[in-house]
Structure 1
């Protein structure tokens, strides 16, 4: 099922999705601008996560690329807003609202989003 799902994201919706990436049940990508979403290899998008590349506000309209790096874990029920870049090896806690860029290797969560553990450069070399 996973290869078929990723094929649909790539071929039908025009998203850029890396190899071995997994989208949880009910993950929702922006249906108006899916081509503005990139997800790197070996990343996990949690259950019921929403990835938006556009946002309509009362007096404003936002449109922005969403780039999710490689080996990223996004917890369930997370909302990712337009114009956000999430670095490689980052972890997003469940239920978060990602409204700003996330540094590679960091652990963030909450609403408003805050750093739960600083990025560590040594940590990635052991996980590879």
Structure 2
């Protein structure tokens, strides 16, 4: 990936790095709820129910399919940007509302039962953000990645972690919320 620190990546279309990039919260698009209150009640105003139903059916098939080639092709058909050699564990789930906002770099691994979210429905608003997973990045089993998070090249996310902030290239994080792991103590 590029050394360009802009949120949009470099001129070659490479995924952005996290160094110097805006924080996740600054990258999120905010959409106020029309009548105030619970934004989930208005999800049909945010995305077509037919599109979400189609996405859900395709994602469900991908979750249970052992074929990486089939998963990658089906997810690309939904708009997910999938680099060469990407591997999805069984039950791994991309966002069913906005899968087109996910980018996975070459040889990235998304572990068993992990979830990549590009939206969050809250009180009074919903938020959208692109999820970018860098080249050779690895997400362990049962990882949840929140909207707007960028995970750098060669980064590792330990199993059962919640990624609420960007993960710099080459960094290992773990926990809820995920924090850098001191590799010197191992």
TM-score by length of 1: 0.88
2:73 is matched with 7
1:37 pairs, out of 99, 102, 121, with 102
Q: Deviations over 1:50-76 (max 9, x none)?
A: 000000012331100000000011000
2:144 is matched with 79
The Cα of 1:117 is off from its aligned counterpart by 3.5
2:16 is matched with none
The Cα of 1:30 is off from its aligned counterpart by 0.5
**Which structure's residues are more often helix, by fraction?**
2
Q: Is the aligned partner of 1:48 residue 2:113? A: yes
Question: Separation in 1 of the partners of 2:182 and 2:161?
Answer: 15
Runs of 4+ in 1 over 6 A off after TM superposition: none
* Equivalences, count: 117
Question: Separation in 2 of the partners of 1:90 and 1:60?
Answer: 31
Q: Is the aligned partner of 1:70 residue 2:130? A: no
2:163 is matched with 98
Question: Separation in 1 of the partners of 2:115 and 2:182?
Answer: 23
Question: Separation in 1 of the partners of 2:153 and 2:182?
Answer: 15
Unpaired segments of 5 or more residues in structure 1?
119-128
Unpaired segments of 5 or more residues in structure 2?
1-66
Question: Separation in 2 of the partners of 1:80 and 1:2?
Answer: 21
The Cα of 1:107 is off from its aligned counterpart by 0.3
Structure 1 or 2, whichever has the larger Rg, is 2
**Relative contact order (C-alpha < 8 Å, sep 6+): which is higher?**
2
